Chain A
Amino acid sequence: METNKYILEFEKPINDLYKKIDELSILSSDKNKKELNLDISIIKDKAEKLREKVYSNLEPIQIVQIARHPERPLMLDYVKNVFDDFLELHGDRYFGDDTALIGGFSNFEGQPVMVIGQQKGASTKMNLYRNFGMPQPEGYRKALRLMKMAEKFNIPIITLVDTPGAYPGLGSEERGVAEAIAHNLQDMAGLSVPIISIIIGEGGSGGALGIAIGNKVAMLKYSIYSVITPEGCAAILWRDAGLSSVAADSLGIISEKLLEMKVVDEIIEEPLGGAHSDRQKVYKKVKIFIKKELKRYSKYSKEKLIQERYDRFRSIGEYYE
């Protein structure tokens, strides 16, 4: 197991066991090797079992923590490891370039695609540069520009979603972040190329939806997709952000629940311990998923693609007639 720098609260007992194993290995000498090895394997077994137990009973708020884990693979990690190459294209042609929402040409196993997604920073410095993955209107307008270009050259679009939400800032409002998101929702409904969306971390409300109008929407197992952050919800409903775990339970933000409600179409499995505990495994799973979907959609007509996407979102909602 890779030891992680950031240990989540609920992972501490598991981590303690691994620490013990490390200590024991240091102590082991020729004399007591046999005995200690036996102990080590017992503890290892115990640790694995505990990990399995913890991960099969995760509370929604714990999944939120995994989705936001500082070591979780980010958009550009997937670009690097799942795609052959990447040519980033900048700017919305009106105001500026958004570093939180990026996109460009890429090849997926030789097939040209347009990859678009929110990029968080892997460090504090990079997070400041990436605005913590919170896009401004320019990001959404750039995304739409690139999507329309993809349509022009008949290239499939793949969006990777990972954002706490659109940036709630002064300039963001002045330049119409709501209009920018709305425009994407409207125009993505009419694009005649396949759109495949994957929630890889945080699917934060309208800021996520603004690039997630996919023919197919998948979710990594320990990612979340929510109308509002659990903290925000708790602050509004109970005036106490501390009740975010209650909000996380209520909001139905975890992949299993969303699959059940048909908000997402597929869950991409993650190893126990989350995507960051075995990155290569996750990249491989994502690759398999994209390959499968691209193959399927290669047979679709333009009309069918548009109709399928419309029907997909048209059918979501629960009510009494």
Chain B
Amino acid sequence: MSILDWFAKKNDSVVVERSKLDIPGNLWVKCITCNGVLYSKDLEENNKVCPHCGHHFRLTSKERMKLILDKDSFEEFFSTMQPKNALGFKDTISYDERIKKAKKSSNLNEAVVTGKGLLDDYEVVVGIMDFSYMGGSMGSVVGEKLTRAIEYATEHNLPVIIFSSSGGARMQEGVLSLMQMAKTSAAIYRLKQKNLLYISVLCDPTTGGTTASFAMLGDINMTEPNALIGFAGPRVIEQTIRQKLPKKFQRSEYLLEHGMIDYITERKDMKPVLSRILGYTSHKKISKGNNNGN
């Protein structure tokens, strides 16, 4: 080994590629549930689940996809669609500014990624919402992308899996956002008419108009532990009924107890469970040889 080799090697180890966490202070992360201090690399290697208490941190759409789909199998649909300030909406800053900021900070064109891919060699259409883009709110683009994806699945006889993570309808698009609830739900109706499978995975948090439309309509409704899922926000409810809410209210386990959720799974088991459901519902894995021509 020459001296130069020795230097080169050292340089290699300095450049460690590490995707960013959406939590400030990149090296160490404090778990919001157990207050444990976690080394962020460990946390990422554990699918962003706290190794001490099992708290599930939020995932970006990219991370979710990596976790669920087979490597390099994803083909994105309608990626260029962008939101429009149809109402000329302005709060503290204009909606156009907000769109720009969201795009920059999340590196996404909108709050949902749609497309098709393979899950354990089962061909599936997926929609993955991303809370880091304007709180995962549903405006025209989210509604349209999901509807098109569902229609694509309906046409091609494919199962649909949607991962929700959304504060609800996007205020900045007014009633146009509300109408996306109707649009997506109608598309789900047509998918089900063809006896095609729809699995809804309600991730932390899923609230408002998203819950009150496609997210609650799965043949199977699934979630991860302790995810916040509800219609009205807890603060609004407390103000309305003027009493403290029960512990764990609007959390996964609470919803399961009340009959709204089929199954709660830890993140590491999400893909295997989805794969099993696809198996139970008579889906066929594609044979590897066929993979390319299709």
Contact = CB atoms under 8 A, between A and B. Distances in A.
Given A185-B213, A236-B171, A176 B259 contact: yes
A70 interface: no
Interface in B183-197: 183, 185-190, 192-193
B77 interface: no
A206 B212 contact: yes
B151 to A, nearest CB: 9
Contacts of A258: 175
B237 A320 contact: no
The B interface, classified by DSSP as helix, strand, loop or mixed, is helix
Given A186-B217, A206-B212, A321-B80, A313 B183 contact: yes
A198 to B, nearest CB: 16
Nearest to A184: B185
A310 B186 contact: yes
Contacts of B259: 176
B212 A263 contact: no
Nearest to A181: B212
A275 interface: no
Contact of B231 (A173, A213, A227, A263): A173
Interface residues of B, number: 64
Contacts of B80: 321
A169 B241 contact: yes
B125 to A, nearest CB: 18
A314 B178 CA distance: 13
A186 B213 CA distance: 8
A319 B84 contact: yes
Contact of A319 (B90, B140, B181, B217): B140
B91 interface: yes
Contact of B217 (A166, A183, A263): A183
A251 B231 contact: no
A169 B214 CA distance: 22
Interface stretch (B20-28, B49-57, B68-76, B141-149): B141-149
Contact of A209 (B90, B181, B237): B181
Contacts of B230: 173, 178
B209 A227 contact: yes
Interface in A177-191: 177-179, 181-183, 185-187, 189-190
A288 interface: no
A300 interface: no
A29 to B, nearest CB: 57
Interface string B243-254: 101100110000
A99 interface: no
A28 B167 CA distance: 64
A185 B260 contact: no
Contacts of A309: 186
Interface string B75-107: 000001111101111111000000000000000
B175 A178 contact: no
Contact of B174 (A173, A178, A226): A226
B250 A173 contact: yes
B89 A182 contact: no
B182 A321 contact: no
Contact of A168 (B141, B211, B236): B236
Interface string A282-321: 0000000000000000000000000001100110111111
B217 A316 contact: no
Interface in B121-172: 140-141, 143-144, 147, 169-171
Nearest to B169: A227
Nearest to A318: B86
B282 interface: no
Contact of B237 (A169, A226, A237, A263): A169
A182 B211 contact: yes
Q: Which of B185, B193, B212, B236 has the most chain A CB within a 10 Å cutoff? A: B212
8 contacts: A166-B231, A225-B175, A227-B209, A261-B175, A263-B175, A314-B183, A318-B84, A319-B140
Closest 5 CB pairs of A and B: A168-B232, A317-B140, A185-B185, A189-B186, A318-B86
